[in-house]
């Protein structure tokens, strides 16, 4: 089974065929660094990290471009034609680029915490003003944009006459032309559906660039088109982003690029669904966001505790990327426990010695039940590729791994014979856990490893072991209780071993 992806353009799953054999070009709309990233932002970056990792696993050479939006194109914020970044900068009395740097750093920190692979190119909007201006000029030359009071608008009506404006979002052009809303700069436009390619900057606007039409700043959609074209060409494989960007952002990108480059920019449009909270989309406008720093610190009224980046990553992977995913502290707690159980199974597996009897397995050595186990295991392992090939179904992949955990524990506890699995299957299971959990799903050990603490704990555990052997329970209980107060949990295993974890 080959890779199938759901293409928002056709609204169905399509077989993935790269434009250039062996290579994939992917563009994903990155963050707007005018503020701190929140939980909702984590989803697209984790989703497309999975896409990236899986394509790499399939052997493609991937060029993954994810931009940083650091230029103003946020017109009509609060009915004022003002750029969000410069507005906030004035409030905080710092340079806009200082603010941009601060939030970019925070974003990069979060990406690292989530174990997200770096994109190959991370272009910034401010670094590509020239490309954007060039593109706008081409669109004007082609006759699909017009200048009005120092701003440039895309002529949607003209475009729609010969092209399908709405092919991606399903929007009907007639409806768009009848919009009744009153927006700033509306009178500059020929039609209400027209969107800005370039906006003239009012005098107080800090972020501004010279252009053939006067000083101003680029419109909302042009940056992605310009940067995608520059680094991936006029036609590339995948364009990703959140579903809320379908219209008008991606629809407009298609229109601009089609006029400028005579190509529909991307072959496959992939969109992740939203994270909701109490059934409502998490977003700035709803004032219900939980910032990532708050997630990781637990410092938010809706959080009962702090959650690690890996818990959040795992939580997101448990849901298919095109479904909405409802956030609650309870759901995160469940994810945390699930990940722990899965990871412990993985660690136990890596320590198991493997089948002792190498073969040749004479037919009757294994009882019938073990043949079932062998078959079950092989099936669970073989299905992994199919699940991912089916539009990246990480939830099913995880479910299969969970189903293998009891087998591992069974072998560890001796319920299941070490020889129940063939050497081949056992080894495959070992390598599959690592390959899938770590490399493809990008999960990491949820526990921190601190070598100093490790050696201290080793000592304490040694002392406690001795006291238990001597039936000096006062000492052993003291160690256990004091550690518990300090936030460390000791677990007595039945073989006399003791393990520990930080609560």
Partner RNA sequence: GGUCCUGUGGCCGAGUGGCUAGGCAGAGCUCUGCAAAAGCUUCUACAUCGGUUCGAAUCCGGUCAGGACCUCCA
Site for RNA in 260-299 (CB under 7 A): 272, 274-276, 279-286
Q: Which of residues 396-435 bind RNA (CB under 7 A)?
A: 396, 398-399, 402-403, 405-406, 409-410, 413, 415
Write 162-169 long-range contacts (CB < 8 A, 24+). Answer: 163/255, 163/258, 165/193, 165/251, 165/255, 166/251, 167/9, 167/251, 167/254, 168/8, 168/9, 168/246, 168/247, 168/250, 168/251, 168/254, 168/269, 169/246, 169/247, 169/248, 169/250, 169/251
The closest of 129, 176, 175 to 154, measured between CA atoms, is 176
Check residue 325 for interaction with RNA (CB under 7 A).
yes
Question: Residue 246, interface with RNA (CB under 7 A)?
Answer: yes
Residues 217, 207: contact at Cβ < 8 Å? yes
Which tokens hold the place of 318? 């448990």
Q: State the nearest-atom distance from the C-beta of 6 to RNA, in Å.
A: 10
Q: Where are the alpha helices (DSSP H) in 204-308?
A: 222-232, 251-261, 292-297
* Piece in contact with RNA (CB under 7 A), picked from 97-105, 262-270, 388-396, 417-425: 388-396
133 versus 243: smaller Cβ distance to RNA:
243
Binding residue (CB under 7 A) for RNA from 24, 111, 129, 243: 243
Query: String of b and e for 313-341 (b: at least 16 CB within 10 Å)?
Result: bbbbbbbbbeeebebeeeebeebbebbbe
Q: Which of 344, 370, 385, 438 binds RNA (CB under 7 A)?
A: 344
Q: Which stretch binds RNA (CB under 7 A): 60-68, 203-211, 365-373, 488-496?
A: 488-496
**Interface residue with RNA, options 18, 123, 241, 309 (CB under 7 A):** 241
Write out the binding residues for RNA, residues 305-324 only, by CB under 7 A.
318-320, 323-324
CB of 257 to RNA, least distance (A): 17
Exactly one of 29, 145, 227, 388 binds RNA (CB under 7 A); that residue is 29
Count of residues in contact with RNA, rule CB under 7 A = 87
Nearest to 322 by CA among 277, 283, 270: 270
Q: With binding defined as CB under 7 A, does residue 175 bind RNA?
A: yes
Phi, psi of 270 (to 5 degrees): -110, 135
Q: Does 74 bind RNA (CB under 7 A)?
A: yes
Q: Establish if 57 lies at the interface with RNA (CB under 7 A).
A: no
| Least CB distance to RNA at residue 13 (A) | 10
Interface pick for RNA out of 6, 16, 18, 44 (rule CB under 7 A)? 44
Residue 141 or 462 having the CB closest to RNA: 462
Is the CB of 187 or the CB of 330 nearer to RNA?
330
- To 5 degrees, how large is the angle CA 472–CA 477–CA 481? 160
Binding range to RNA, per CB under 7 A, among 103-111, 334-342, 363-371, 442-450: 334-342
H-only helix segments in 128-274: 129-141, 156-162, 173-177, 222-232, 251-261
- In Å, what is the CA distance from 276 to each residue of 41, 42, 48, 231, 391? 12, 13, 19, 33, 22
Site string for RNA, 348-387 (x = CB under 7 A): ----------------------------------------
Contact between 349 and 433 (Cβ < 8 Å): yes
Q: Which of 3, 46, 13 is nearest to 315 (CA)?
A: 46
Q: Interface with RNA includes 477 (CB under 7 A)?
A: yes
* Nearest-approach distance from CB 196 to RNA, in angstroms: 8
Which of 50, 261, 30 is closest to 123 using CA atoms?
30
Is the CB of 19 or the CB of 122 nearer to RNA? 122
Instruction: Give the pair of three-digit tokens for residue 202.
Output: 């009012």
* Range in contact with RNA (rule: CB under 7 A) among 100-108, 230-238, 332-340, 444-452: 332-340
Q: Between residues 18 and 289, which has the closer beta carbon with respect to RNA?
A: 289
Residue 258: CB minimum distance to RNA, A:
20
Closest distance to RNA from the beta carbon of 312 (Å): 12
Q: Which position among 57, 209, 247, 296 is part of the footprint of RNA (CB under 7 A)?
A: 247
Which residue's CB is nearer to RNA, number 18 or number 320?
320
* Interface with RNA (CB under 7 A), residue from 97, 121, 334, 418: 334
Cβ neighbours of residue 301 closer than 8 Å, sequence gap 6 or more: none
Question: Residue 496 region, left (φ>0) first, then alpha (ψ -120 to 50), else beta?
Answer: left
Among 129, 245, 441, 443, binds RNA (CB under 7 A): 245
Point out which span in 60-68, 235-243, 360-368, 425-433 binds RNA (CB under 7 A): 235-243
Three-state secondary structure string covering 350-372: HHCCCCCCCCCCCHHHCCHHHHH
Interface with RNA, residue 457, by CB under 7 A:
no
Quick check: 222 and 135 in contact, CB under 8 A?
yes
Phi, psi of 40 (to 5 degrees): -60, -35
Residues sharing a CB contact under 8 Å with residue 135, sequence separation 6 or more, in sequence order: 222, 225, 226, 229, 256, 260
Q: Residue 26, interface with RNA (CB under 7 A)?
A: no
**How many C-beta neighbours within 10 Å does residue 368 have?**
7
- Binding residues for RNA restricted to 83-122, rule: CB under 7 A: 84
Q: Tell me how far, at minimum, the Cβ of 161 lies from RNA, in Å.
A: 19
């Amino acid at each position: 089974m080959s890779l199938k992806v759901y293409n928002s353009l056709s609204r169905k799953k399509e077989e993935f065929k790269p434009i250039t054999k062996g290579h994939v070009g992917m563009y994903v709309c990155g963050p707007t660094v005018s503020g701190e990233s929140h939980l909702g932002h984590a989803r697209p970056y984790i989703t497309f990290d999975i896409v990236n990792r899986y394509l790499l696993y399939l052997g493609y050479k991937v060029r993954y471009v994810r931009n940083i939006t650091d230029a103003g194109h946020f017109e009509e914020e609060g009915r004022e034609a003002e750029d969000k970044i410069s507005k906030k900068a004035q409030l905080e009395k710092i340079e806009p680029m200082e603010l941009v740097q601060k939030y970019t750093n925070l974003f990069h920190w979060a990406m690292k915490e989530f174990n997200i692979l770096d994109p190959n190119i991370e272009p910034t909007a401010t670094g590509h003003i020239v490309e954007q201006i060039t593109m706008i000029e081409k669109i004007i030359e082609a006759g699909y944009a017009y200048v009005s009071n120092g701003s440039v608008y895309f002529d949607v009506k003209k475009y729609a006459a010969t092209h399908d404006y709405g092919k991606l979002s399903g929007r009907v052009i007639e409806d768009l032309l009848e919009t009744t809303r009153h927006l700033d700069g509306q009178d500059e436009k020929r039609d209400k559906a027209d969107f800005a390619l370039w906006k003239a900057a009012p005098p107080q606007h800090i972020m501004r660039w010279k252009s053939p039409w006067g000083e101003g700043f680029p419109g909302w959609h042009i940056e992605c088109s310009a940067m995608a074209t520059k680094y991936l060409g006029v036609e590339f494989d995948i364009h990703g982003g959140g579903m809320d960007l379908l219209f008008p952002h991606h629809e407009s990108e298609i229109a601009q690029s089609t006029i400028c480059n005579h190509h529909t920019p991307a072959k496959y449009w992939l969109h992740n669904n939203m994270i909701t909270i109490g059934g409502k989309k998490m977003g700035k406008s709803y004032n219900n966001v939980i910032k990532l720093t708050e997630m990781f610190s637990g410092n938010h009224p809706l959080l009962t505790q702090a959650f690690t980046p890996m818990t959040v990553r795992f939580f997101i992977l448990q849901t298919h990327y095109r479904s909405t995913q409802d956030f609650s502290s309870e759901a995160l707690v469940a994810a945390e426990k699930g990940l722990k159980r899965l990871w412990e199974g993985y660690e136990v597996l890596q320590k198991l010695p493997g089948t002792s009897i190498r073969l040749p397995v004479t037919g009757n050595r294994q009882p019938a039940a073990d043949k079932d186990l062998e078959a079950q295991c092989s099936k669970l392992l073989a299905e992994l590729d199919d699940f991912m090939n089916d539009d990246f179904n990480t939830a099913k992949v995880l479910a299969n791994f969970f189903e293998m955990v009891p087998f591992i524990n069974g072998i560890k506890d001796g319920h299941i014979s070490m020889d129940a699995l063939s050497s081949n299957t056992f080894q495959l299971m070992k390598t599959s856990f690592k390959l899938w959990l770590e490399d493809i799903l990008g999960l990491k050990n949820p526990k921190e490893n601190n070598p100093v603490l490790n050696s201290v704990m080793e000592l304490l555990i040694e002392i406690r072991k001795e006291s238990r052997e001597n039936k000096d329970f006062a000492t052993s209980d003291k160690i256990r209780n004091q550690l518990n107060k300090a936030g460390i949990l000791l677990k007595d295993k039945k073989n006399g071993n003791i393990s520990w974890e930080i609560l």
